Amino acid sequence: MSEPTTPSVPPTPPVPLSALLAREDLGLRQIAGPPAPDTVIHWAHTSEMADPYPYLLGGELLLTAGVHVPEAAGAGAYFDDYVSRIVAAGGAALGFGLAPVHDTVPRALVAACDAYGLPLLEVPPRTTFSGVARAVWQLMAQARLAELRRVTEAQQSLAAAASRPDPVPSVLRQLAQRLSAHALLYSPDGTVIASAGRAPVPGTQEALRKLTGVVRPGTARDAPASATDSLGDVQLAAYALGGSGGFVLGVATGRREPADHTIASVAAVLLSLLTGEHQSGAGAARSSALVRLLLGAAPPEVAALLGGTDGAGWLVVHARPEHGTPDPVGAAALGTALGSPLVDLARDVVRVLVPAGREPAAQPGWTLGVGAPAGPADWPSADAQAARALARARATRTPLVRHGARPGLSELVPRADAEDHARALLAPLAAGPALTETLRTWLSLHGSWDRTAVALDVHRNTVRQRITRCAALLDTDLDDPDVRMELWFALRRG
């Protein structure tokens, strides 16, 4: 029989030797070797062979009653040879059964186990080897169940994090919490764009950055999906985010448990979905559309490249997070939720151009304003509509407000005449765009100072001052409903 060269272990959680010693029904007692907390067992095996090496796979608790021990063993090198072979085969511990062959554990065996660092257990006469093996498997099953429960709970919490308004930071935070780790998201150029978890030990981030180069597409012809390394006691892992153009997840932990890789892999899949290109093959077309626009093409000429429909086939959406300011990752996730990669991140608002067939819905953590369906030539008007809808949504604390496109009395007046009238009526305000926008918002909110202040992000006293200024410049009474109606008509057409 050939001798094993590399010990292998089963894909099940190991059992701490200390847990086996804690079983009062077994009555095991450690009498030699290193402390039990430092030893784990992968299985139990019984053998009375004088040389058990060929029969061991590594990680065993080897059980023997000493039948193979010759009478003169204590005076020679028998036990040294016996223990050294167990250690060479990767055996984790040795259990020596008392009775019927030996009343006590041979002193020379105790000395040999101490010398070679092999934990030695005394198995009392009342405990059978089959009982010890059963206990090992019971503890292993409990560990496996705990591991599965841990993975399941982690999957649920990571999925919940991915559905939050800030999905990428939330997933990283949840991953760091579950693994007691430091988690980082690297962009295709190798810079850290998001991180979470405890502060890493010095040198960790640089070591992780180097490890990401192993899995990043383009660094090697057959780059692996994941890679591991260590820095002292710190365990490092890197995961390529499939389909995301080179984003990589890096994880640094103080230990490496069997379930850690599974949990990190789940996080990597979620991050791939959140950061990846969700419309396969569309990137080149959008790039082409951008180049054509920069070279002078009109929007109607390039709209087909954007994946929408002809005619009035687009919606402009303006969005703001309920708390804080928008960030690139959150903006991309919002575009994914709305079904469009055409996202523009400004200082305090995210604009998304959505094909009209994908009707926007309210998004948790966001306030949305949606313009009327429009063709490319009318996108600027739809953009203004979405901005006003967002202002109204924020003022009324409504998750989503759509621009009302229902025909009204204004349609009875020729467009050119209505625009001429609007310019003449609003001419005194032409030099003050802030005044015009304040008046428009104030009228849309039925003269509410507080709601107008919220919609415009200004103090209510600023709203009062601007409206007073508007009344003075227009030389009219803004409390008169007829005046308000005429001004609203003009603002709609101006």
**DSSP code string of 186-240:** E-TTS-EEEEEESPPPTTHHHHHHHHHHHHSTTSSTT--SEEEEEETTEEEEEEE
Residue 171 has pLDDT above 50, yes or no: yes
- What is the side-by-side strand order in the sheet with 400-402? 343-345, 350-355, 314-321, 366-370, 400-402
Other residues' Cβ atoms within 10 Å of the Cβ of residue 123: 23
Res 335: pLDDT: 83
CA distance 15 to 425: 84
* CATH superfamily, with its number, for domain 15-139: HprK N-terminal domain-like (3.40.1390.20)
* Domain range 163-275, its CATH number among 3.30.310.50, 3.30.450.30, 3.40.449.10, 3.40.50.1220: 3.30.450.30
State the DSSP string of 22-46: T-TTTT-EEEESS-GGG-EESEEEE
pLDDT category at 393 given cuts 50, 70, 90 is confident
Residue 266 has pLDDT above 60, yes or no: yes
Res 31: pLDDT: 95
Res 283: pLDDT: 61
Topology given in CATH for the domain delimited by 409-493: Arc Repressor Mutant, subunit A (1.10.10)
Question: Position of tokens 């057959």?
Answer: 222
Res 243: pLDDT: 56
Domain coordinates in residue numbering, the chain: 15-139, 163-275, 313-402, 409-493
Task: Please give the model's pTM, rounded to 2 decimal places.
Answer: 0.50
φ, ψ of residue 184 in degrees (nearest 5): -135, 145
Strands 343-345 and 350-355: antiparallel
- pLDDT (tens digit, 9 = 90+) per residue, 397-441? 889 998 875 545 555 556 677 777 778 888 888 878 888 889 888
Other residues' Cβ atoms within 10 Å of the Cβ of residue 164: 17
CA distance 429 to 431: 6
pLDDT category at 218 given cuts 50, 70, 90 is low
- pLDDT (tens digit, 9 = 90+) per residue, 64-89? 999 999 987 776 799 999 999 999 99
To the nearest whole percent, how much of the chain has pLDDT over 90?
A: 31
Helix (H) or strand (E) holding 440: helix 433-444
Strands 29-32 and 120-123: antiparallel
